């Protein structure tokens, strides 16, 4: 039993209180005149059959505008329907007042209504009436580009104030004269004009406008800001693009869609975790993933696990179909309000919600996916187990005899002694005296492990709202079966988002979700002989894995049941099979986990006056993760051959509380000011309890408490992490002339992981120069921007004190001082970043182009530095390292065609990042994981291991026989970081048909395939099964001369000194096999790859009537290909898979579980 003792350190520091109080007082005084530069120039509203008075109230509640009018000038009780999204206030007022005799004037934040001047009413004479043209009653239906009805479309006779609006089903009727021009307008769509003719039926299809759909962005604290007024860069991914990816998890759905963001997939396992890296690596041993903000509160994206089992990303607990948008805040300026948690960027997720006045709508979606291995390792089936061309079961390698040279008769067996009786088929096996069979099992063995994976997802959502309340409800049921048999992943998710407008000045939002995730994971290789691929790929081609378990009968008659039969122990004669038979890994080893997660997010908004808003927001993210690993007696890997069971229970809780005040004021038409002040209290606690039993006293197939009653066989470990922090933050925004936008922000933070408080400032500037020079048909919008900020990474908890440990027998079991010395002077890692860029839009916003250049430096990076042995400690934990990143990001969007029936748009992104480890406090390297290290003067995650000796010109230093020589000293051999990455996507819509695709490309970088290194040495890779007939005398690595005309197994190579023979002696030596002392640099490849990330073809049917009472608004069917095609020069493996899972280490393959390509069928019905 091991326990960790520590002295808890947290206090509400007096100096922080004083600073926060002073800041609060300053803002409180400023509120008398303050104003928000993020004033809502764009409005979204959906109200059905509402009075004009209630519409005006809603405008005042949701914007900074006041409406001034005389009661006598307007019928406030008139009922209208409004359905707009992200429109300017003047457009909304035009719709509201379209059928009235009222005009308006906007004076900054005041909307003044006045009665239009009309001519005196005339009494028409009979002759005048007769001379008027006859009216035609025009009727019709207005639909969108998908043939869905559009309610609330304004239809006005041009040059008059006479008009109507379409009803909920898009229908309308208006009296007009022949020759009149009907003007159809709707927010977000192009205005259309149609001349009235003889036909009384006029149906109209509206075409979406080409204006920028991403004007509003969500900030780090969950408030909204106009993108055109922001000096920081961010990327927005809308719900439809997430849904079209067909991914079960949120993280993978982001791949290729945003510049500066690298999504690293672990493998194709169901629910496998993926890493997110924004603008390069910023830390060495600290947290490497961005902060996740869900509807304004931080939530966990834990990736607890190891290399033997695929990690799971807790972000993937969220149902992708619940997401309205994902905002990626890349720079330090945009993320600074989160202080020491924001150095790796911030991802802001907004979930869907209902709308006030919205009729209930139901959406049902069914998805069915079929998953296939995208890259299969080529194995040979020409040579049998053994060495030096001779069959033998005593060796691990397959350098035995040529299988086709065998007689083809049954094997000669020794039936006089030991044997193995299969429990699966009843076959009995004896020692082989002479191997005669020509049968091979490479393909059949593969098929016994792999299958076509499936993915079934049912999702239903209901949303709507009345005058005072709105709601969004969803339920998801996901069942995924992996490409590896017995690997599964199941997720059920329930969400309810509600909003109550209790009074004109008080609203209550509440978001609640529950997720249950269950899976059975199969051990991948990593560094263990229990792994599924390690056992499968090393197995000799003439060994059938079918009969993996049975009864071993020794030559003396002893009988042992439940023994494992593997190619290294073909009779199950040993408790340790050395390498698992892959079917033993699949069927006998168990690794289930069960996760239950609650996220609760209440929010109270108070608008006491039009210039002041108060937000009180709480959040609780709580999950439990019960997981176990069970290895029955007879499993491979050392002590586990005697039986091993561990039960781990993880309890994680994060409580968050924010109080936010937003004040706004315009001092003049040219000057607007805003002030935002907030305080945050955060409490994170995670407890991991692990109970382990090993060895077993009984041979059990199931984990039970009585596996071994001996206390010495049991151990218990408890890991506790508890972090508390409080933070005060403020934003000062200045708007000059509607062109210059300044934002100054700062966060003052104290945390239990450090002593004292730390300040994180930021500033950004945006200049809309197009307002000064004037827009044109060519340049419709132009903005220059610049930003600077500081963010941090907290130390791990309890590092400022030296801890004590127990659990050892030394000195009667007393406490021992930990080997790592505590450091009371720890500081957070500090990342300072600046960026400059521009956002341009051309041809009336049809084309958008954005450039960003950034540079950042992270100082005081924390890691364990080796201590002087005389100190009594092995390591000192200290602030010591420095890392730099710099790069360029480019985003291009274009709406190339916009007509009633045809729409074509493209989007592309490009980014390059240069990373450098500037200093690591004199250490040679710092371990990141496996072969990946932090090395001074090199990029993070560089490969650091032995390779070949080199000359001064970097050519190979050859021995006398012309072969490379091994340099046993490790050095940097390669860099996995790409030179640049990019994506290009296209969206085509023709009437009800839609087609889209997304390519992602990664250029450059290095990849080391250590799986191939090992398989060469074991003689099972297809590359080493070649036979060549020599045309000249050649020498092998041992100096042996093989005469011309000889046919040998091997390959001919020239390392720079002439042709040499690569035979068994080379591949089983420094040219392959186990261990790191190999010619590893010869296995490093260019990591360039291109993937067809996504391609979708769909069709939408509208207005389907199923019965008299039930009709479909729309019904969509689609088929999606996911990662269908991979172009790469890398052999044998998908370069995206990562042996180290979610970490800063990547670019190496060592028996990773493979990636997948998928076909997804989707049905979506909207009622």
**CA 396 to chain centroid:** 40
The secondary structure of 903-942 as a DSSP string is EEEEEEEEEEEEEEEEEETT-SEEEEETTEEEETTS-TTE
**Between residues 217 and 633, the one the model is more confident about:** 633
> Residue 723: pLDDT above 90?
yes
> Residue 383: pLDDT above 90?
yes
Among 720-734, 806-820, 860-874, the range with the most confident prediction by mean pLDDT is 720-734
Picking from 780, 777, 781, 747, the residue whose alpha carbon sits closest to that of residue 766 is: 781
> Residue 3: pLDDT above 70?
no
Confidence (pLDDT) at 1138: 82
Q: Phi/psi of residue 1083, each to 5°?
A: -105, 10
Q: Please say which residue of 556, 584, 612 terminates a domain.
A: 584
Q: What is the mean pLDDT of the chain?
A: 86
Residue 1134 within a domain? no
Helix axes 52-62, 89-96, angle to 10 degrees: 170
Q: For residue range 131-144, what is the model confidence (pLDDT) as tens digits?
A: 445 788 899 888 87
Asked if 932 and 1144 touch (Cβ cutoff 8 Å), the reply is yes
Residue 20 within a domain? no
**Residues 6+ positions from 31 with CB-CB distance below 8 Å:** 611, 612, 661, 663, 675
Q: Please say which residue of 560, 584, 608 terminates a domain.
A: 584
Asked if 1079 and 964 touch (Cβ cutoff 8 Å), the reply is yes
Q: For residue range 481-509, what is the model confidence (pLDDT) as tens digits?
A: 999 999 999 999 999 999 998 888 899 99
Q: Is 159 left (phi over 0), alpha (psi -120 to 50) or beta?
A: left
Confidence (pLDDT) at 119: 38
49 and 194 co-located in one domain: no
Picking from 1077, 1099, 1090, 906, the residue whose alpha carbon sits closest to that of residue 993 is: 1099
> Residue 55: pLDDT above 90?
no
Residue 1021 within a domain? yes
962 and 1039 co-located in one domain: yes
Residue 457 within a domain? no
- The arithmetic mean of pLDDT across residues 1014-1030, rounded, is 96
Please give the C-alpha separations between residue 1165 and each of 247, 458, 462, 837, in angstroms, as whole numbers. 19, 12, 12, 42
> Residue 564: pLDDT above 90?
yes
425 and 541 co-located in one domain: yes
- The arithmetic mean of pLDDT across residues 651-672, rounded, is 92
Asked if 284 and 328 touch (Cβ cutoff 8 Å), the reply is no
User: End-to-end CA distance of the chain, in Å?
Assistant: 59
Q: Please say which residue of 154, 172, 205 terminates a domain.
A: 205
48 and 184 co-located in one domain: no
> Residue 994: pLDDT above 70?
yes
424 and 531 co-located in one domain: yes
303 and 425 co-located in one domain: no
**Between residues 648 and 92, the one the model is more confident about:** 648
Confidence (pLDDT) at 1038: 95
Residue 269 within a domain? yes
The secondary structure of 720-748 as a DSSP string is EEEEEEEEEEEEEEEEETTTEEEEEEEEE
Please state, in angstroms and rounded to a whole number, the distance separating the CA atoms of residues 314 and 328.
18
Confidence (pLDDT) at 104: 78
Confidence (pLDDT) at 422: 96
Asked if 403 and 542 touch (Cβ cutoff 8 Å), the reply is yes
Asked if 1083 and 1009 touch (Cβ cutoff 8 Å), the reply is yes
**Residues 6+ positions from 877 with CB-CB distance below 8 Å:** 795, 799, 820, 821, 822, 823, 826, 862, 863, 864, 865
Confidence (pLDDT) at 38: 32
Please state, in angstroms and rounded to a whole number, the distance separating the CA atoms of residues 34 and 406.
91
Q: Is 634 left (phi over 0), alpha (psi -120 to 50) or beta?
A: left
Confidence (pLDDT) at 223: 72
Please state, in angstroms and rounded to a whole number, the distance separating the CA atoms of residues 54 and 77.
9
Helix, strand, coil: what percent of the chain each, to 5? 10, 50, 40
Confidence (pLDDT) at 30: 36
> Residue 64: pLDDT above 80?
no
Cβ neighbours, 10 Å, residue 29: 11
**Between residues 73 and 117, the one the model is more confident about:** 73
Please state, in angstroms and rounded to a whole number, the distance separating the CA atoms of residues 231 and 700.
63
Please state, in angstroms and rounded to a whole number, the distance separating the CA atoms of residues 81 and 50.
6
The secondary structure of 1048-1092 as a DSSP string is EESEEEESSSSEEEE-HHHHTTTTSSSSS-S-GGGGEEE--EEEE
In percent, the amount of the chain with pLDDT more than 90 equals 53
> Residue 12: pLDDT above 60?
no
Please state, in angstroms and rounded to a whole number, the distance separating the CA atoms of residues 943 and 928.
10
Please state, in angstroms and rounded to a whole number, the distance separating the CA atoms of residues 498 and 935.
51
Confidence (pLDDT) at 131: 41
Asked if 182 and 176 touch (Cβ cutoff 8 Å), the reply is yes
146 and 287 co-located in one domain: no
The secondary structure of 265-330 as a DSSP string is E--SSTT--EEEEESS---SSS--SPEEEETTEEE-------SSS----GGGGS-GGGEEEEEEE-
Residue 344 is part of a domain; what is its CATH number?
2.170.130.10
The 3-state DSSP class for residue 479 equals strand
Asked if 1060 and 1069 touch (Cβ cutoff 8 Å), the reply is no
Picking from 62, 37, 60, the residue whose alpha carbon sits closest to that of residue 676 is: 37
957 and 1022 co-located in one domain: yes
User: Which pLDDT band, with edges at 50, 70 and 90, does 1004 fall under?
Assistant: very high
Predicted structure pTM score: 0.81
Burial class (CB in 10 A: 0-12, 13-18, 19+), 1056: exposed
46 and 91 co-located in one domain: yes
The count of structural domains within the chain is 5
Q: Domain limits at 292? A: 216-355
135 and 193 co-located in one domain: yes
The tally of CA atoms less than 13 A away on the side-chain side of residue 963 is: 23
Cβ neighbours, 10 Å, residue 265: 22
Picking from 505, 504, 512, 510, the residue whose alpha carbon sits closest to that of residue 475 is: 512
Burial class (CB in 10 A: 0-12, 13-18, 19+), 556: exposed
> Residue 518: pLDDT above 70?
yes
Please give the C-alpha separations between residue 133 and each of 139, 1002, 1155, in angstroms, as whole numbers. 19, 68, 72
Residue 208 bridge partners (DSSP):
189
Confidence (pLDDT) at 80: 85
**Residues 6+ positions from 782 with CB-CB distance below 8 Å:** 768, 769, 770, 773, 838, 839, 840, 841
Residue 486 within a domain? no
Q: For residue range 738-775, what is the model confidence (pLDDT) as tens digits?
A: 889 999 999 999 999 888 899 999 999 999 988 777 66
Picking from 362, 337, 328, 167, the residue whose alpha carbon sits closest to that of residue 260 is: 328
Lowest mean pLDDT among 477-486, 971-980, 1148-1157: 1148-1157
The secondary structure of 585-641 as a DSSP string is HHHT-B-EEEEEEEEEEEEEEEEEETTEEEEEEEEEEEEEEEEEEEE-TT-SSGGGG
Confidence (pLDDT) at 73: 61
Residue 100 within a domain? yes
Give the start-end residues of each E strand in 632-670.
644-668
The tally of CA atoms less than 13 A away on the side-chain side of residue 158 is: 14
User: Which pLDDT band, with edges at 50, 70 and 90, does 18 fall under?
Assistant: very low
Asked if 535 and 564 touch (Cβ cutoff 8 Å), the reply is no
The tally of CA atoms less than 13 A away on the side-chain side of residue 1048 is: 23
Please state, in angstroms and rounded to a whole number, the distance separating the CA atoms of residues 655 and 944.
41
Angle at 786 between CA 783 and CA 787, to 5 degrees: 135
Residue 130 is part of a domain; what is its CATH number?
2.60.40.1120
161 and 194 co-located in one domain: yes
228 and 250 co-located in one domain: yes
Asked if 602 and 615 touch (Cβ cutoff 8 Å), the reply is no
Residue 316 within a domain? yes
Confidence (pLDDT) at 125: 38
Please state, in angstroms and rounded to a whole number, the distance separating the CA atoms of residues 582 and 580.
6
Q: For residue range 265-313, what is the model confidence (pLDDT) as tens digits?
A: 878 788 887 889 999 999 998 778 899 999 999 999 888 765 467 677 8
């Amino acid at each position: 039993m091991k326990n960790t003792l520590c002295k808890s350190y947290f206090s509400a520091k007096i100096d922080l209180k004083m600073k926060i109080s002073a800041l609060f007082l300053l803002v409180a005084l400023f509120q008398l005149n303050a104003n928000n530069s993020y004033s809502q120039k764009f409005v979204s509203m959906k109200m059905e059959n509402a009075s004009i008075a209630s519409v005006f109230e809603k405008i005042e509640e949701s914007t900074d505008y006041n409406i001034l009018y005389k009661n006598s000038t307007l019928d406030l009780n008139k009922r209208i329907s409004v359905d707009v999204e992200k429109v300017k206030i003047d457009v909304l007022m035009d719709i509201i007042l379209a059928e009235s005799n009222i005009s308006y004037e906007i004076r900054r934040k005041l909307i003044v209504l006045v009665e239009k001047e009309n001519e005196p009413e005339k009494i028409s004479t009979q002759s005048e009436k007769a001379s008027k043209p006859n009216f035609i009653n025009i009727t019709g239906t207005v639909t969108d580009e998908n043939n869905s009805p559009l309610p609330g479309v304004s239809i006005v006779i041009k040059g008059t104030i006479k008009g109507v609006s379409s009803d909920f089903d898009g229908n309308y009727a208006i009296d007009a004269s022949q020759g009149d021009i009907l003007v159809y307008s709707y927010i977000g769509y192009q205005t259309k004009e149609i001349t009235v003719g003889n036909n009384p039926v006029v149906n109209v299809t509206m075409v979406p406008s080409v204006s920028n759909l991403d004007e509003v962005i969500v900030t780090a604290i969950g408030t909204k800001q106009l993108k055109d007024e922001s000096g920081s860069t961010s990327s927005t991914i809308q719900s439809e693009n997430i849904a079209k990816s067909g991914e079960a998890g949120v993280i993978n759905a982001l791949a290729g869609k945003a510049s500066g963001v690298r999504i690293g997939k672990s493998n194709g396992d169901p629910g496998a975790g993926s890493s997110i890296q924004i603008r390069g690596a910023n830390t060495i041993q600290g947290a490497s993933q961005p902060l996740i903000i869900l509807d304004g509160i931080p939530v966990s994206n834990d990736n607890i696990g190891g290399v033997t089992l695929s990690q799971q990303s807790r972000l993937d607990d969220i149902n992708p179909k619940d997401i309205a948008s994902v905002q990626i805040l890349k720079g330090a300026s945009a993320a600074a309000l989160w202080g020491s948690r924001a150095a790796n960027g911030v991802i802001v997720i907004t979930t869907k919600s209902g709308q006030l006045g919205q009729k209930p709508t139901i959406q049902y979606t069914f998805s069915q996916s079929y998953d296939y291995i995208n890259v299969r390792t080529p194995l040979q089936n020409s040579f049998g187990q053994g060495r030096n061309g001779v069959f033998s079961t005593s060796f691990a390698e397959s350098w035995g005899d040529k299988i086709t040279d065998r007689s083809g008769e049954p094997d000669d067996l020794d039936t006089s002694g030991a044997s193995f009786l299969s429990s699966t088929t009843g076959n009995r096996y004896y020692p082989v005296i002479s191997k005669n069979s020509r049968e091979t099992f490479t393909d059949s063995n593969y098929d016994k492990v792999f299958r076509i994976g499936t993915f079934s997802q049912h999702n239903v959502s209901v949303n709507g709202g009345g005058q005072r309340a709105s709601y969004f409800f969803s339920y998801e049921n996901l069942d995924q079966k992996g490409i590896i048999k017995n690997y599964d992943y199941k997720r059920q998710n329930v969400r309810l988002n509600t909003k109550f407008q209790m009074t004109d000045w008080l609203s209550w939002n509440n978001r609640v979700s529950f997720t249950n995730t269950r899976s059975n994971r199969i051990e991948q290789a990593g560094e263990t002989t229990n792994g599924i691929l390690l056992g499968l790929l090393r197995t000799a081609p003439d060994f059938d894995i079918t009969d993996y378990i049975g009864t071993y009968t020794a030559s003396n008659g002893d009988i042992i049941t439940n023994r494992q039969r593997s190619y290294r122990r073909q009779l199950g004669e040993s408790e340790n099979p050395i390498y698992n038979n892959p079917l033993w890994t699949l069927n006998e080893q168990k690794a289930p986990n069960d996760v239950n997660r609650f996220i609760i997010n209440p929010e109270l908004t108070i608008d006491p006056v039009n210039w002041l808003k108060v937000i009180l927001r709480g959040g609780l993210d709580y999950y439990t993760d019960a997981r176990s690993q069970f290895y029955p007696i007879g499993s491979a890997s050392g002590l586990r051959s005697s039986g091993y069971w561990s039960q781990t229970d993880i309890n994680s809780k994060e409580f968050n509380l924010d109080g936010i005040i937003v004040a706004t004021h315009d001092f003049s038409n040219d000057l607007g000011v805003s002030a935002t002040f907030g305080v945050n209290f955060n409490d994170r606690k995670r407890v991991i309890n692990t109970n382990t039993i090993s060895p077993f006293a009984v041979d059990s197939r199931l984990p039970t408490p009585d596996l071994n009653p001996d206390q010495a066989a049991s151990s218990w470990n408890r890991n506790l992490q508890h972090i508390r922090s409080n933070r005060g933050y403020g934003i000062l925004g200045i708007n000059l002339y509607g062109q210059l936008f300044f934002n100054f922000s700062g966060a003052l933070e104290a945390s239990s992981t450090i002593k004292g408080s730390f300040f994180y400032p930021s500033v950004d500037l945006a200049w809309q120069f197009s307002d000064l020079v004037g827009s044109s048909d060519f340049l419709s919008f132009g903005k220059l921007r610049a930003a600077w900020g500081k963010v941090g990474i907290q130390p791990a908890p309890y590092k400022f004190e030296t801890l004590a440990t127990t659990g050892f027998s030394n000195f009667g079991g007393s406490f021992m001082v930990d080997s790592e010395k505590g450091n009371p002077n720890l500081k957070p890692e500090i990342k300072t970043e600046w960026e400059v860029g521009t956002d341009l839009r051309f041809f009336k916003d049809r084309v958008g182009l954005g450039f960003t250049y950034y540079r950042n430096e992270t100082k005081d990076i924390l890691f364990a530095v080796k201590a002087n042995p005389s100190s009594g400690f092995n390591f000192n934990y200290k602030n010591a390292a420095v890392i730099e990143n710099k790069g360029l990001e480019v985003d291009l969007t274009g709406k190339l065609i916009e007509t009633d029936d045809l729409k074509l748009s493209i989007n592309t992104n490009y980014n390059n990042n240069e990373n450098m480890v500037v200093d690591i406090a004199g250490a040679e390297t710092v371990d990141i994981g496996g072969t990946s290290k932090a090395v001074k003067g090199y990029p993070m995650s560089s490969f650091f291991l032995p390779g070949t000796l080199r000359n001064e010109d970097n050519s190979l230093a050859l021995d006398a026989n012309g072969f490379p020589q091994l340099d046993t000293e490790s050095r940097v051999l390669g860099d996995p970081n790409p030179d640049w990455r990019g994506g290009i996507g296209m969206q085509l819509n023709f009437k009800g048909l839609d087609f889209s695709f997304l390519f992602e490309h990664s250029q450059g970088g290095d990849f080391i395939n250590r799986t191939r290194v090992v398989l060469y040495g074991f003689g099972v890779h297809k590359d080493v099964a070649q036979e060549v007939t020599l045309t000249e005398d050649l020498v092998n690595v041992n100096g042996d001369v093989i005469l011309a005309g000889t046919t040998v197994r091997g390959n001919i190579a020239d390392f720079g000194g002439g042709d040499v023979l690569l035979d068994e002696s080379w591949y089983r030596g420094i040219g392959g096999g186990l261990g790191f002392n190999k010619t590893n640099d010869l296995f490093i490849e260019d990591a360039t790859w291109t993937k067809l990330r996504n391609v979708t073809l769909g069709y939408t049917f509208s207005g389907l009537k199923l019965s008299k009472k039930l009709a479909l608004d729309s019904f969509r069917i689609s088929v999606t290909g996911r990662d269908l095609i991979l172009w790469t020069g890398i052999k044998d493996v998908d370069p995206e898979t990562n042996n180290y899972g979610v970490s800063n280490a990547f670019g190496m393959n060592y028996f990773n579980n493979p990636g997948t390509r998928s076909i997804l069928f989707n049905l979506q019905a909207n009622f």
